[in-house]
Structures are given as structure tokens and as C-alpha cells.
Amino acid sequence: MTGRGNEALVAAGWQPGRDAGNRALLGILETTSTVAVDGVTAWQTFPAAERALREFHGLAVTPAGPGADVAATGCVVDPTLGRHALRTFAAFQEGLGHRLFPFGRTDADALLAVDDEGRLFAVDHSGWWLLGESVAEGLVSLAEGRAPQRVTSWSRDRELVRTAEDVVTDLVKTALVLAYVLHRHGLLVTRAIRARAVGFRGFGGVYLDREFRLRRKTLEANAAPLADDIGQALGPAPLDTTEVRLELRPAGSGAKRPAIGCSLAVGGQRVGGIPVQGILVQLTARAGFMLDADRRRAVDDATAEVERYAATR
């Protein structure tokens, strides 16, 4: 590392091969002994956090002059400063898809966290930010005032015009087209479709909530039998007052939310307060998924293909 940020680290006491030893281990121990109010949730350390804290624990880094992109800020590396933010960190790491451990606090009162890949993050009143692909890079970015990358989930809604086919057949065929698009761009391998039907009048009775496995054949060959299976499972449900939603499910997903989500629904949908007349397609991506540039490009390409498909219906 070179530059003003590196000089700030050296001035704070860092040097290559630095090991804070017992001081770092005591900080980790004090942090992991903190338990949330539910009496169950607690911090769990991992090798990347232990390595980073042994190298940087106890440093008080000061700003290295005016910020290059944003205001430069200093920080203190001490995991105990964030040990009471269990709920805040737990909510974010679910979307990130990686474990987090407290790392310290900035002079602007943002909490720092290291993940199991060794990246440095910060959270403040405006959300979560990626500071660097490594802890050293993140600390330098803070000291030099480099612009961080906002970490947020992604979603896109698209209304598709209904075809002349019945509701279930139209939904199933559309779902399989979306499954093909997402698979072609390396985003999602669909192994099942979850079908849920809920009345949107009165008490909203649940008519169907079941997962249907795809058969070991082409997506096109799955359309008719899958539509028949879902139609029979729906039985006499009043489709004119029922929301029917299909969700693409990957293999072995269980209860865990996949990194990429795709669902489509008919009935009772609104976008911006305006009723949806066709099929509402909802694409989502977890925050951690969108940090990778190649994945972002794949999502953009898949979204563009969905737009082209929508124009041909």
C-alpha cells in the first residue's frame, strides 16, 4: 500500500506483519460473550475476522488530509464498540449472504464490520456501505475520503400483457420463459415452482400453497403437465377474486431465500396504487449478489431480455 492513507495507518502504529496478540483476542472474547435480548443470538467469529483484528486491533487512524471524493474520516479498530448491534448486523448479513463481525467505529459514529471474505463494511443512518475488498483497503479509503459503494438489494417490477389462454396456463408458460432467461444468464437454475393462491376479498382464504417439482424434461415439455397439476390443486377456487402467484425455486433452497428471486402474479396486484391488469413480474436480488460486477451485468442482460420478451407478447 502506498499514498496518504497508508501513511495514516503507519502513523497509527500499523506495519506489515503487525500482531496485536492478546489484546485482539480479548476484544474478540468480550464481543462474542455479548448475547442479544432473545438470549439466543450471539456473535460468531471466523478466520477472516480474527486475522483482521490481530493485524489492526487498537489502531486509531486519523484522516489523511482533505477527502478525495467524500469527507475523510478516522476510525478506531475495536470490535467491542459494535458488540450491541447484533440485530442490525444480523438483518444485513442475511441479505449479504456472508457472516459479519464487528470491527470498530468511525469518527462519524458509523459502525465497521468485516465479513467472512475479509471485506470491510460500514453502517450509518443512511444504510450499509462497502469500504474495501480488504480491511486495509477499507481503512485507507476512510482515511483518504474515497467514495464507498452503497450496498442495497435490487428489485424490478414489470407488467406483462395477458395472453388469450386461461390464467393458470398463461402464468405457467410465462414462468417457464423467465426460468429459461435466468438460467441462460447464469442467474438461477429453477427446479420447482411454488404456487400460492389467496383470496383478496373478505378474510383472504388460502386456496393453495404448494411446491411443484419440474419434471426431468425440457421447460417447454413441462408447461402442460405443470399447468394441469396446479389447476387441479386449485380446485374450485374463485379465480376472479384470487391472487395466484408463482415463484421460481432453485434446487435445495428450502426456507432460505435465494440470491435471485423471480415471482409472477395475477389478481389484486397494484403498482404505485394503480391496479395491474396483466401479469406482474417481480425480479429481486439480494444485496450481496449485486456487489459483483459480473453478476450486475448478468442481471442487466436478463432484465433487457425480459423487456424484449414483454414487447412480443
Each residue of 178-230: pLDDT tens digit?
999 999 999 999 999 999 999 876 566 899 999 999 988 898 899 999 999 99
CA-to-CA dists, residue 60 to 24, 64, 81, 147, angstroms? 14, 12, 13, 21
End-to-end Cα, the chain, rounded Å: 54
- Report how far residue 277's alpha carbon sits from residue 299's, in angstroms, rounded to the nearest whole number: 26
Q: What is the pLDDT of residues 242-263, one digit of tens each?
A: 999 999 999 765 545 678 999 9
Q: Where are the domains of the chain?
A: 4-150, 154-312
What pLDDT is recorded for position 45? Answer: 94
What pLDDT is recorded for position 12? Answer: 94
Listed range (65-79, 127-141, 148-162, 199-213) with the worst mean pLDDT: 199-213
Residue type, 243: E
Contact indicator for 48, 118 with CB cutoff of 8 Å: yes
Q: Which three cell numbers stand for residue 16?
A: 506489515
Nearest alpha-carbon partner for 112 in 52, 174, 158: 52
Residue 47: band (very low, low, confident or very high) from pLDDT cuts 50, 70, 90:
very high
